[in-house]
Amino acid sequence: MKAVVGLILLAICFFLVCFGNLISPYSYDAIDLMARNEPPSWQHLFGTDDLGRDLFTRVAQGLRLSLFIGCVAAAIDCLIGVVWGASAALLGNRIDTLMMSCIDILAAIPYSILTIVLLVVMDPGIISVIAALVVSGWITMARLMRSHVLTLVSKEYVISARLVGAGFFRVLFRHVLPNSVEIITTTLLLTIPQAIFLESFLSFLGLGVPPPFASLGRMVQESLSALPYFPWRLLIPAAWISIAMLAFNLIGEQWYEKLECRNDSLT
């Protein structure tokens, strides 16, 4: 049931992202001072902001940006984490200790502080935001993957493969990765909403993607002072951030519960 609700919410998000600009005739950066702070109506489905810009197209643009950055950052996190964690577990001994020590050192630095510092140093843009989110976001995946692979290397088929001379890459691609798809998918689904939230938070602080791009977090920040008078300006973009995060969380939780049930049945 959770997955069904999550898929419906995700489908609504992608519908808005793909067809939002076709539904509304307005551009996300078109200024119309004669239509400032209008409430939601058939002319402006989500109302307008203090510059008369149509919030429907701006929310569609901001949601597109959040989903793109969130999905790309989460995918890169999982890729790095899978390679790092699996390599540490398979190589073992001193290499494992060295690689996990690097993770411990990086994890000692608060994630949000490291991300903010990198964005202050780098030029603003989508690539900079993704790079800042990835710099230490892969640590959780690496630790989970290492723990999972350590249980796999004790399996008979992995031991047999090594005894007949299977190398690192053969064991990795033939035995480890095919048996790690579920845990990788679950972690990916649960990482995406974290990346979406952090991107919105950075945009709220003014460290995200710069104008003229519309960002949901920046829209929330710009509407704080207008909340008592024009509440739709804050509530609508905040609601879409929550919907996008909830969709991935519901799907990820359902997948995790399925994985847990399967593990319980095997034991």
Q: Could you tell me which of 100, 101, 102 has the C-alpha nearest to residue 147?
A: 100
pTM given for the model: 0.86
Q: Per-residue confidence at 266, pLDDT binned at 50, 70, 90?
A: very low
- In whole angstroms, what is the distance from residue 188 CA to residue 29 CA? 33
Q: Is 48 helix (H, G, I), strand (E, B) or coil?
A: strand
| pLDDT tens digits for range 202-259 | 888 888 888 777 889 889 988 888 888 889 899 999 999 999 999 999 888 877 676 6
Provide the CATH number for the domain formed by 2-266 in this structure.
1.10.3720.10
DSSP string, 150-187: HHHTTSHHHHHHHHTT--HHHHIIIIITTTSHHHHHHH
| pLDDT tens digits for range 35-78 | 888 889 888 889 888 888 889 999 999 999 999 999 999 999 99
